[in-house]
Structure 1
Amino acid sequence: MSRIPDANIIHSRLRLRQLRLMLALDELGSLRRAAEEIGMTQPAATKMLHEAEDLLGVELFERLARGMRATPFGETLIYYARMIFAELSGMREEMVALESGNLGRVTIGAIPALASGLLTRTIATLKQSHPRLSMSLQVDTSDVLVQALQQDQLDVVLGRIPSNARTDDLQFDSLGEEELCVITGAQHPLAKVKKIAWTELQEMTWVLQQHPSPMRTIVNQAFHNARIDLPSSIVETTSIMTLLSLLQQTDMIGITPRSVVDDYPGRHLLAVLPIQLEPRLPPYGLITRRNRVQSSAMQTFMAAVRAEQGRST
């Protein structure tokens, strides 16, 4: 029989101050320093830790010769404690926004291709219909963004679920798929050719996202399938604008979703090479934390993304 009590007992008896102590203890590794951090005496902190362990029926921290270290039970408690305090901070921000007459604030992560297309169109529409909605944007690869989401640094991600991500706490709302293409500047020697092989591209300088982004993985797989080595000359960037600028000014080569090329005002400055990428990108969509209560700002933003996507398909 489990020593861990029912959830309703934890709800009624576990205190926020106990959780603050656990976070401080995990960060500082010392009961004395953790007690000072939250403004209490060491004996009181010792008693509080014992009370939490007695309540939960497990040891939360190992007592070492020098300091203390969280047990697997303690690490689980700390993970959820961080989420609880992040939710409380979000509650306060939304209440402050409502108090000032604003709709609220939403922190958004987006992969570069969607940031320059779907997200830009959504924000333009939202700012007309909801001028008081405050939005904060982070553009990066899906693996970085999903990790930030799981650490409560973002409310919602417009991107893909990375293959190595822990997905049990994620909710994915698929919006569609994107076709990838290999591109160069219009001035590139290969820009006018009718047929090309991977062996002809191996010696060139490629502009790619960092590993393990999905697009980088697909390029690696394409060279592997062609039974040739990966290019030895690679420039890494997550910036779509840097990619497009480099291709226009050099003889480098890159990979991007076809929608980026089609939406680019300087489309005539680019060339799509006649070569197929067999591996496909996973679907993209809206990613949120499964058990998080969605604020009105989050719901408004997500509804606007779905509406914009519907207009463009």
Structure 2
Amino acid sequence: MSRIPDASIIHSRLRLRQLRLMLALEELGSLRRAADEIGMTQPAATKMLHEAEDLLGVELFERLPRGMRATPFGETLIYYARMIFAELSGMREELVALESGNLGRVTVGAIPALASGLLTRTIATLKQSHPRLSMSIQVDTSDVLVQALQQDQLDVVLGRIPSGARADDLQFDSLGEEVLCVVAGAHNPLAKAKKLTWPELQNMTWVLQQHPSPMRAIINQTFHNARLDIPSSIVETTSIMTLLSLLQQTDMIGVTPLSVVNDYPGRHLLAVLPVQIGPRLPPYGLITRRHRVHSSAMQTFMAAVRAEQLKLPSEG
């Protein structure tokens, strides 16, 4: 039978000061220094640690000849203690924002294609209805953004869950799918072709996202399925604007969601090449931490994204 008590007992008896002590112990490795850090005597800190271990029924720290080290139980407690204090900091920021008449702040990560389309439209709408909502935007590939989300550097990601991600602590709210296309500048000799094959494109210079982005994985898979080597001449960028500029100024070709081409003000400067990309991109959506409380700023932003998505024609 487990020695670990019911959640209701932990809720009523575990104290924030005990969690502060655990974080200080983990950081400093010494009970004396941890006690100094949070402003208490060493005997009081020793007693507090024993009380926490008695309450939870497990040893949280190993006593070593020089200092202390968290046990696996202690590491788990520290992981959740960090989340609790991050939530409390978020609560304080939101209280300050509400006190000053603001709705609060939301930090958003978005993949490039959605940043230039869906996200831009959402921000434009939100700034009309909630002018005092503060937003911070980071644009990158899904693998980078999801890692930042899991490290509490972002509140919400507009993108995809990468294939290698530890997804058990992520909540995914699907919004739709994107169709990928191969695109070139309108001046490119290939732009006039009625039909193209992958071997004809292999020796071109390609503008692609870095590995391991989902879009790059699909292009690699497409060449693999065609029994071809991946092109040897590749320029890697996550920037949609760099991609579109290169296509217009050179004979390079690239890959982008069809929506990016259709939304681009200089659409007449681009040509979608007549070649099919077999594998499909995974759906995109709103990604959040599963056990994280959604602030009012997060809820407002996510509701606005969903409302904006409903205005879009489906790409299939």
**TM class by shorter-chain length?**
over 0.9
SS at structure 1 position matched to 2:173: strand
Letter in 1 for 2:81: A
Aligned residue-pair number: 313
Letter in 2 for 1:21: L
With 99-108 and 197-206 compared, the bigger mean Cα shift is at 197-206
Change in Cα spacing, 1:269 to 1:12, as seen in structure 2 (3 Å) is same
**How far apart are the structure 1 equivalents of 2:65 and 2:195?**
68
**How far apart are the structure 1 equivalents of 2:68 and 2:251?**
56
Where structure 2 has 5 or more consecutive residues not aligned to the other structure, the ranges are: none
CA shift, 1:279, in A, is 0.8
Partner of 1:122: 122
Q: Does 1:248 align with 2:248?
A: yes
CA RMSD of aligned residues (A): 1.9
**How far apart are the structure 2 equivalents of 1:98 and 1:276?**
51
Normalised by the length of structure 2, the TM-score is 0.92
Q: Does 1:229 align with 2:229?
A: yes
Partner of 1:169: 169
With 121-130 and 79-88 compared, the bigger mean Cα shift is at 79-88
**How far apart are the structure 1 equivalents of 2:61 and 2:38?**
18
**How far apart are the structure 1 equivalents of 2:81 and 2:266?**
49
**How far apart are the structure 1 equivalents of 2:206 and 2:33?**
50
Letter in 1 for 2:306: R
Report if aligned partners of 1:209, 1:236 keep a CA contact under 8 Å in 2.
Answer: yes
Letter in 1 for 2:90: G
Normalised by the length of structure 1, the TM-score is 0.92
Can you list the C-alpha shifts for 1:36-88, whole angstroms capped at 9, x where unaligned? 44344444434333332222122223344554443322222222112111111
CA shift, 1:140, in A, is 1.3
Partner of 1:83: 83
Report if aligned partners of 1:83, 1:151 keep a CA contact under 8 Å in 2.
Answer: no
**How far apart are the structure 2 equivalents of 1:66 and 1:194?**
74
SS at structure 1 position matched to 2:75: helix
Partner of 2:12: 12
Q: Does 1:195 align with 2:195?
A: yes
**How far apart are the structure 1 equivalents of 2:87 and 2:121?**
29
With 246-255 and 78-87 compared, the bigger mean Cα shift is at 246-255
CA shift, 1:234, in A, is 2.3
SS at structure 1 position matched to 2:174: strand
Where structure 1 has 5 or more consecutive residues not aligned to the other structure, the ranges are: none
**How far apart are the structure 1 equivalents of 2:255 and 2:305?**
25
Instruction: State the percentage of identical aligned residues.
Output: 88
Partner of 1:158: 158
Structure 2 counterparts to residues 1-313 of structure 1, below 5 A: 1-64=1-64, 67-313=67-313
Change in Cα spacing, 1:71 to 1:216, as seen in structure 2 (3 Å) is farther
Letter in 1 for 2:88: L
CA shift, 1:242, in A, is 1.6
Change in Cα spacing, 1:31 to 1:220, as seen in structure 2 (3 Å) is farther
